[in-house]
Chain A
Amino acid sequence: MTPADLHYQVDVAHWGWSIAWFLWFVGIAGMGSVAYYFVRRAPLAYVIFGSLAIGLLLVVSHLGRWWNLPRVLWIMVINLDFNFNSWMLIGIMMLSVHLFMTLFIVIAHLPFLTNRFGWLGWTKALNASNLYLVLYAALGAGATVYSGFLITQAAGVPLWNTSLIPVLWVISGSVAAIAVLELLYVFGLVDARVSSFGVRLGMGLDVLKLLAVLGFLHVALSFGSAGARFGAELMTSGEYALMTWGGVIGIGILIPLAIGAYTIFVGKSKPLLLVSSVAALAGVFFLRAAVLLAGVWEPLVL
């Protein structure tokens, strides 16, 4: 039964597709930074940098009053008044630091810059430093967790008020990072050794992601408030059911799992890897979009 007081957050607050893309890019960049610690390849650094830059641009363009941002920042700085209770503020600060840390790594991978401008040599030292890269990976994981807490903290949307979301975001962000590595391999940008990092781990993560998605829906349907339940119903049998079952689970989990199994038993095929990594990346996006779009307020009257 539809409650008398049912409102979708996307209609009122307008957290829609652009925020879904933002969360997707943050997931790729965040867990991509963890992958970077292990593989340390230039193309991955470029992808992380691009994802962060696009993600931040998306979030700024989503601001209804973006033109007021310089004044807002100025007032905060001159008053030394920062609301560190807000995950949005913490997250934007983390992403900005992350962007700069990635920029240094990208520069270290560009010999025409480091050779021409000798003073940029320190970026190579940073890129060779385990400590720097551990910090970088930690910040990436933190940024992914942040993108989960960002919506968890939005008290108006009960479907989101669960700590399963950051967990889901980290697992699916890891799936996305591995899919990016596979894509880089398909396009000949990293070698097979780097890509072999992924197949079994990717399948394990796909299974984990499946369990986490089903767990998230089950918790909302069985133990959630009316608003959480209604949101979960939108995802399982309502307006966003196709996105959940077809996009998140079918395309995003089952196709990569089937191709992963084929790869293990029969052997690697680049066209199939291409399909599986694009499907995995699409699934990670559908997950964020479905969770966002299915967000409704707690009905005050049923």
Chain B
Amino acid sequence: MSTRLRRGQAPTRRMAHIWDASRCIACGACVMACTQANAPEMMFREEKGWKSLASNIRRIDSVSPHGRPELLLVQCQHCENAPCISTCPFGATYYDTDGRVRLDPARCAGCSYCVTSCPYNVRWLHPDNKLPKKCMGDGCIDLTDSGQHPACVQACPAMARDYGDLNDPSSSVSVTLRTKRSRRLLEATGSEPKFFVVEGSR
């Protein structure tokens, strides 16, 4: 079980998410599974700011310059230099020993500073309790603490998602990142994201 990282302590694991754009079939199952696992009460409700299903995975549909439909899925990148942790005035947003960025609701006053501080726009305010929700929610924390994969990884029919430890060279995510072409989003912000978009074989 992961716990809150103390000041100066290094995480024992560096858990990361992978989304393989070259395999994804844009079915949206991961987006739905995320809501169902982490905020089932939002299953039929909209995140008004995003104008989409309230989920910790944000779906961006676009059209390429050649007229081809394109998809990008984003979620909390569990940044290693997370702006949302620097700015949270009350220490409600924190690192756990698995290197994940977590939220302690007892310490959150709902100021939204973490929302405006996230370069990826992946936090949304829950309309009922005003908590700044994001990946990973309580449902997925429970799943991973019991040794299972997060809901999105389990739901994906195309094996386009993975979750694992970057510190372990034999983990499936480390192997994928060694063998496939991948990129991280908005690296220039210096947030050191741990969400990798796989683009195909090397």
A→B interface (CB under 8 Å): 4-5, 7-9, 11-15, 62-66, 68-69, 71-73, 75-76, 81-83, 85-89, 92, 151, 153-157, 295, 297-298, 300-301
In the complex, which residues of chain A have a beta carbon less than 8 angstroms from the beta carbon of B191? Answer: 155
Task: Tell me how far the C-beta of B81 lies from the nearest C-beta in chain A, rounded to whole angstroms.
Answer: 10
Among candidates A4, A82, A88, residue contacting B111 with C-beta atoms closer than 8 Å: A88
- A selection of 30 A-B contacts at a CB cut-off of 8 Å is A5-B72, A7-B49, A7-B121, A11-B49, A12-B50, A12-B124, A63-B110, A64-B109, A64-B111, A64-B112, A65-B109, A65-B129, A68-B109, A82-B91, A83-B90, A85-B86, A86-B89, A89-B89, A153-B86, A154-B117, A155-B119, A156-B83, A156-B115, A156-B121, A297-B121, A300-B74, A300-B121, A300-B185, A301-B60, A301-B72
Among candidates B62, B86, B119, residue contacting A297 with C-beta atoms closer than 8 Å: B119
Task: Tell me how far the C-beta of A45 lies from the nearest C-beta in chain B, rounded to whole angstroms.
Answer: 28
Contact with A along B63-80 (1 / 0, CB 8 A): 100000010101000000
Given contacts A7-B121, A11-B48, A301-B72, is CB(A154)–CB(B116) below 8 Å?
yes
In the complex, which residues of chain B have a beta carbon less than 8 angstroms from the beta carbon of A154? Answer: 87, 113, 116-117
Contact B60 A298 (CB under 8 A): no
Contact B107 A13 (CB under 8 A): no
Bound together, the chains give a CA A11 to CA B112 distance in angstroms of 12
In the complex, which residues of chain B have a beta carbon less than 8 angstroms from the beta carbon of A87? Answer: 87
Contact A155 B107 (CB under 8 A): no
B→A interface (CB under 8 Å): 47-50, 60-63, 70, 72, 74, 83, 86-92, 106-113, 115-121, 123-125, 129-131, 185-186, 189, 191
Contact A9 B116 (CB under 8 A): yes
User: Closest A-chain residue to B90, C-beta based?
Assistant: A72
Contact A88 B112 (CB under 8 A): no
Among candidates A81, A83, A89, A300, residue contacting B120 with C-beta atoms closer than 8 Å: A300
Contact A5 B62 (CB under 8 A): yes
Task: Tell me how far the C-beta of A73 lies from the nearest C-beta in chain B, rounded to whole angstroms.
Answer: 8
18 more CB-based (< 8 A) A-B contacts, given A11-B48, A68-B109, A156-B121: A4-B61, A8-B49, A12-B49, A13-B115, A13-B116, A63-B110, A68-B110, A72-B108, A72-B109, A75-B90, A75-B107, A81-B91, A83-B88, A83-B91, A89-B89, A153-B86, A156-B116, A156-B120
Among candidates A4, A15, A65, residue contacting B130 with C-beta atoms closer than 8 Å: A65
Task: Tell me how far the C-beta of B19 lies from the nearest C-beta in chain A, rounded to whole angstroms.
Answer: 13
In the complex, which residues of chain B have a beta carbon less than 8 angstroms from the beta carbon of A64? Answer: 109-112, 125, 130
Most chain-B Cβ atoms within 10 A of its Cβ — which of A65, A69, A73, A155?
A155
Instruction: Tell me what chain A mostly uses at the interface: helix, strand, loop, or mixed.
Output: loop
Contact A4 B118 (CB under 8 A): no
Bound together, the chains give a CA A15 to CA B125 distance in angstroms of 12
In the complex, which residues of chain B have a beta carbon less than 8 angstroms from the beta carbon of A68? Answer: 106, 108-110
Among candidates B50, B89, B121, residue contacting A83 with C-beta atoms closer than 8 Å: B89
Contact A86 B109 (CB under 8 A): no
Bound together, the chains give a CA A195 to CA B114 distance in angstroms of 43
Contact A4 B63 (CB under 8 A): yes
In the complex, which residues of chain A have a beta carbon less than 8 angstroms from the beta carbon of B89? Answer: 83, 86, 88-89, 92
Bound together, the chains give a CA A179 to CA B1 distance in angstroms of 58
In the complex, which residues of chain B have a beta carbon less than 8 angstroms from the beta carbon of A9? Answer: 115-116
In the complex, which residues of chain B have a beta carbon less than 8 angstroms from the beta carbon of A63? Answer: 109-111
In the complex, which residues of chain B have a beta carbon less than 8 angstroms from the beta carbon of A157? Answer: 116
Task: Tell me how far the C-beta of B55 lies from the nearest C-beta in chain A, rounded to whole angstroms.
Answer: 14
Most chain-B Cβ atoms within 10 A of its Cβ — which of A297, A298, A300?
A300
In the complex, which residues of chain B have a beta carbon less than 8 angstroms from the beta carbon of A86? Answer: 86-89, 113
Contact B60 A300 (CB under 8 A): yes
Contact A155 B74 (CB under 8 A): no
Task: Tell me how far the C-beta of B21 lies from the nearest C-beta in chain A, rounded to whole angstroms.
Answer: 12
Bound together, the chains give a CA A81 to CA B90 distance in angstroms of 8
Contact A65 B131 (CB under 8 A): yes
User: Closest B-chain residue to A86, C-beta based?
Assistant: B89
Task: Tell me how far the C-beta of A59 lies from the nearest C-beta in chain B, rounded to whole angstroms.
Answer: 8
Bound together, the chains give a CA A11 to CA B72 distance in angstroms of 21
